[in-house]
Structure 1
Amino acid sequence: MGRDGEAELSEMAAIRASVHDPMMIAIARAMLENDLPTAEPLLRQRLKQDPFDVAAIRLMAELAARIGRYRDSETLLRRALELAPAFAAARANLATVLYKQHRFAEAVGELDAVLAAGEVDAGKLNLKAAALGRIGGYDEAMRIYAELTRTFPDHAKLWMSYGHILKTVGDQAEAIAAYRRALEIEPGLGEVWWSLANLKTVQFGDADVEAMEAALESAEGLSDENRLHLHFALGKAFEDRVEPARSFVHYAEGNQLRSMEIKHDPDAIAAQVDHVIETLTPAFVSEHMGQGDPSPDPIFVLGLPRAGSTLIEQILSSHSQVEGTMELPDIPQMAMREAREAGGKRQDWIDALAGMEPGRLAELGAEFLDRTRIQRKTDKPFYIDKLPNNWAYLGFIALILPNANIIDARRHPLDCCFSNFKQHFAKGQGFSYDLSHIGRYYADYVRAMAHYERVMPGRVHRVVHERLLDDPEGEVRSLLAYLGLPFEEACLQFHTNTRAVRTASSEQVRRPINRDGVGQWRAYEAWLGPLKDALGDLPEAYAER
């Protein structure tokens, strides 16, 4: 009837009324206690009785999100909003689900709608700031965090998040101050201690070490998440004090806690590399090469984490024709989606690639360009995706974007692998919490890259980290020649570049080139037997394989 205002009022009245329904109360109680086996059948019964119960649809979406079924959750939330467009709680939930799918720009759009409707609270503002930080909206994110910390001056995690953004934009002094303020409020917040350690420039004093040890000893109420962060931070503290035995104990404890949680399977990585070698033969690559999107815009920098990829990105982004972005999640997401839609497991993108119809490769290349467009803030012709894990999808990249440039960042395996072991990653590096697993992962990566060099000779340009340290100008000139770009002196002055950097190397690439990270594994050699065994002869042969 066109009476939208009255319709919205009626919809919201119905939603409010549902909270008094006995079945909905039982469902809410089960959800509050995270008793999903009880909640799910009750929700199904409720929606069978009334498929238009928007409150029940929203709760079913929340249940799906809790078990990681974000696409299902999104579908349910969009149905709820179709029925009740003014249901701000459902829209806020949708923003959260989009964020968890790495669809940050869409999440910001939904949050803007919620906030414009007057539904303003700290949680929504915090989520918006986090999403803005993932799409380069640092100025607005900092403004939001500054406002939130003024409103909630005793909220430790807000100060921590504020510190993360300040670190990203290079304001190290203010970042440290924000982290220190968080610790004043909550001394046992392990992630903040690790955030300070992860700056790589903070030297912990005796009082800091005592505070961290005291937090570990007060076991009551200390979560495993806080515990493992404290272990990693203490590992760094004792490393700086040149006490490798005490340092290694803490690194090992932190890694053990995360390894038990993640349960990485190194055999799955080896099997995937085997499958790449079996499927992506010279004949297959020759048949499919050139069918993707012809754009030359993306530059992929890949390899292992802690191999020097951030340094390469910082050097290239100092060039007048290249824009640095961040570690973009799009290639793995697209590859895994294609695998699922082809009826395979998420790792089976190789079979999906082999079965694609003509024209699909070009569609996927165009999709990547479209998905990543929001990360481009300048009109420079080239931009960088430096997600290290993209080595595992190199064949996918090469076929959907045949003119994209690909750079392999390679570092001495003992330095690289041990650096991974002592680095706690927020997510995505499940191999890094066990020395044997790290060594096997490095070996499988080298195996895969050797195969791609055989089937696509010259397609990938390798930058060996130690050679870059020894001869910066020669290596930079070679890299730019591969990219077809003229040499620019600014590339050697990369440390003066004020761009935002999100990775663990953010502070290191703001210094002139140095050899501080070379040979750090040697102090820990007594404990690196499992890593050495897994690597075999790679410490001698890594640069040429």
Structure 2
Amino acid sequence: MVTAALPSAPHLPRDLLEAGLAMTDNRIDIAERLLKARLKRDPDDPRALRMLAEVAARIGRLHDSELLLRHALEVAPGFHSARANLAMVLGRAGRPAEALPLLDALFEAEGEALGHLNLKAATLGRLGSFEEAIAIYRRVLDEAPNQPRLWLSYGHMLKTIGRLDEGIAAYREAIAVRPALGEAWFSLANLKTVKFTDPDVATMEALLGGSDLSDEDRFHLEFALGKAFHDRRQPEPAFAHFQLGNALRRKMIAYEPERITRRVDRCIATFTAERLQRPGPDPCLARDPIFVVGMPRAGSTLVEQILSSHSMVEGTSELADMPALAREFGRYPEDYGALEPAALRRIGEEYLRRTAVQRRSDRPLFIDKLPNNWLFVPLIHLALPNGTIIDARRHPLSCCFSNFRQHFARGQGFSYDLADLGRYYADYVRLMAHVDAVLPGKVHRVIYERMVEDPEAEIRRLLDHVGLPFEQSCLEYWKTERAVRTPSSEQVRQPIFRQGTEEWQPYEPFLGPLKQALGPTLDHYPAAPPLQ
């Protein structure tokens, strides 16, 4: 068993060095092939296990990454880099509470290293301990101010709790330290309320004209420049930058639209009316969670802000617990057609246990606004039949183009190609139409355009569905002070505006692939096409 420090990079075997170089160049397929070959010869090589875990994490296979890292720590308990990676993976997987003991062990073994403090602050942020996280960032930056990525993380945390001016200043500090840090430019753009100056635009264009930019910096700058020209109402150059940024990002991810289509097919076949209308004896009857599902950029953050302005509802965040549980209890959806009632009850209870770490008040209801939970609505109903489900929906061209303009930190692989976007939106509508057919009235739909036209009527309908009395604070939701971790954080701190329903229209000449992929889903909006 290896317990001493592991060899440094110059002493790595040739195949591991080549795998590392491939990962640096984002040639994930080559790195994966080299690492799997290495592990076939030596299944207990902790360095190869850690590197393959990083490959798995990069392509979204967090469960595989966790297993590989745990194996690495079994054979090499002193491999602290693997321990740090495991803490990071658990945080990304929505289990930050499990990451904290790992971080404590790192601090005990290696002291308060910069990277470990950064990881602890990020973990605390995921747990909702924003002030504590901010204090760590501030302390580290006071000691080591020339850390552009720390300024970036600090800015993210300040933005989350609404300290916007300080967040902007932090992003500007990151740029001052490293002007080519594309993510800092995009973070400014992502605030929605920031307008780039002529010198800003000139600087970004000059950076893109250079040859030494990484692909990551380049696509972030493309998205930021797209936002700059969008704000100037110049759709042609704006779209050109959005398209370049998306194309570059799309090459870096392994997304297969057919997998979602097939999964929706299997969900429809598995979750029949008979199956969904008999959750089984002795289910988990808690009504605490309110699930807000749908497409990203469809108004889910607005719905969350309205509901969390009510005295009986707590807003949390986009929680990854239901998808994680779906993976842990079997193949989703195939194994859920005959899953025992006791297992469904355990899923409900385990979901409540895991999400409890996100709750900060004694309000009886809380919101989980992970949009991608639309795929797990049948399981949510079976595991938590008294839970509330809200579907936030927005015009398909408006919603999909808003996604195309947005770079997501991780996940949402469908959002970097117009055809992929249209297909994903159509699959989402198709599954929700099936749920409506077999469980009439279970899901309450909030149509964004109707909310804009008549907020009070729509808010009253929403509260009625949740079973809550009307409160004026819900109508004045922008006055509610709370942490908001999504790209819409600043938009929900102001009254509803009509602009969001019309922003796509100047770009319609460029949206042909999106319209084609949407097909009849576009024609029937806000209803769904007839089920086949």
* Aligned equivalent of 2:197, options 202, 205, 216: 205
Q: 2:66 maps to what in 1?
A: 71
Among 428, 432, 438, the alignment partner of 2:411 is 428
Q: Hey, what does 2:383 align to over in structure 1?
A: 400
C-alpha distance 270-90 of structure 1, shift in aligned 2 (>3 A): closer
Give the whole-Å Cα distance in 2 for the aligned partners of 1:274 and 1:67.
Answer: 29
Aligned in 2, Cα 1:45/1:523: closer, same or farther, shift over 3 Å?
closer
Residues 297 and 383 of structure 1 are in contact (CA less than 8 Å); yes or no, is this contact kept in structure 2?
yes
Distance 1:431 1:89, change over 3 A: closer
Q: Tell me whether 1:532 sits opposite 2:527 in the alignment.
A: no
Residue 207 to residue 526, structure 1, CA distance change in 2 (3 Å): same
Partners of 1:505 and 1:268 lie apart in 2 by: 28
- 1:482 aligned partner: 465
Tell me which of 270, 293, 311 is aligned to 2:261.
270
Q: 2:235 aligns with which of 205, 224, 244?
A: 244
Count of equivalent residues: 510
Q: Is the 8 A contact 1:296 1:404 kept in 2?
A: yes
Corresponding position of 2:363:
380
Matched, 1:62 2:53: no
Q: Which has the larger radius of gyration?
A: 1
Q: Deviation at 1:109? A: 2.2
* Partner SS state of residue 410, structure 2: coil
Higher mean alpha-carbon deviation, 351-360 vs 190-199, is at 351-360
Gaps of 5+ in 2: 21-30, 57-63
Secondary structure of 1:34 counterpart = helix
Residue 219 of structure 1 is matched in structure 2 by 211
1:260 matches 2:245 = no
What corresponds to 2:494 in structure 1? 511
1:133-532 to structure 2, matched below 5 A, reads: 133-220=125-212, 222-288=213-279, 292-339=283-330, 348-532=331-515
How far apart are 1:78 and its partner, in Å?
4.5
1:40: Cα distance to partner?
7.0
Greater shift after overlay, 460-469 or 28-37?
A: 28-37
Higher mean C-alpha displacement, 442-451 vs 105-114? 105-114
SS in 2 for 1:294: coil
Check 1:475–1:255 CA distance in 2 against 1; reply closer, same or farther (3 A cut).
same
Higher mean C-alpha displacement, 144-153 vs 286-295: 286-295
The offset of 1:120, in angstroms, is 1.4
Q: TM-score, normalised by structure 1?
A: 0.88
Name the CA distance, whole Å, in 2 between partners of 1:375 and 1:517.
Answer: 30
Pair 1:92–1:231, CA change in 2 (3 A) = closer
Deviations 1:257-290 (A, max 9, x none): 1122224322222222222222211112223356
- Whether 1:104 and 2:87 are equivalent positions in the alignment is no
Deviations 1:146-193 (A, max 9, x none): 112112211111111111001101011001000011111111111111
Helix, strand or coil: the match of 1:332?
helix
Code of the aligned partner of 2:491 = Q
How far apart are the structure 1 equivalents of 2:145 and 2:247? 35
Name 1:123's counterpart in structure 2: 115
Over aligned residue pairs, what C-alpha RMSD do you find?
2.4
Gaps of 5+ in 1: 1-10, 48-55, 340-347
How far did 1:499 drift? 0.4
Other-structure match for 1:7: none
Q: Does 1:34 align with 2:19?
A: yes
Give the CA deviation at 1:106: 1.3
CA distance in 2, matches of 1:30, 1:279: 45
Say whether the 8 Å CA contact 2:93–2:320 is kept in structure 1.
no
8 Å CA contact 1:291, 1:399 repeated in 2:
no
What SS is found at the alignment partner of 2:499?
A: coil
> Retained in 1: the 8 A contact 2:46–2:73?
no
Q: Measure how far apart 1:312 and its partner are.
A: 0.3
SS in 2 for 1:372: helix
CA contact (8 A) 1:292 1:364 kept: no
Give, in whole Å, the separation in 2 of the partners of 1:119 and 1:446: 51
Q: Which deviates more from structure 2 when the two are superposed, residues 482-491 or residues 327-336? A: 327-336
Query: Offset of 1:89 from its aligned partner?
Result: 5.3
What is the DSSP-based 3-state SS (H/G/I as helix, E as strand, rest coil) of the residue aligned with 1:242?
A: coil
| Offset, 1:356 | 1.6
Shift of the 321–223 alpha-carbon distance from structure 1 to 2, 3 Å rule, reads same
Query: Per-residue displacement from partner, 1:430-485 (whole Å, max 9, x unpaired)?
Result: 11111122112111111111110110010000111111111111111111111111
Give the TM-score, by structure 2 length. 0.90
> Do 1:282 and 1:456's aligned partners in 2 also have CA atoms closer than 8 Å?
yes
Q: Relative to 1, partners in 2 of residues 1:349 and 1:40: Cα closer, same or farther, differing over 3 Å?
A: closer
Amino acid at match of 2:375: A
CA–CA distance in structure 2, aligned partners of residues 257 and 42 of structure 1: 30
Q: How far did 1:80 drift?
A: 4.7
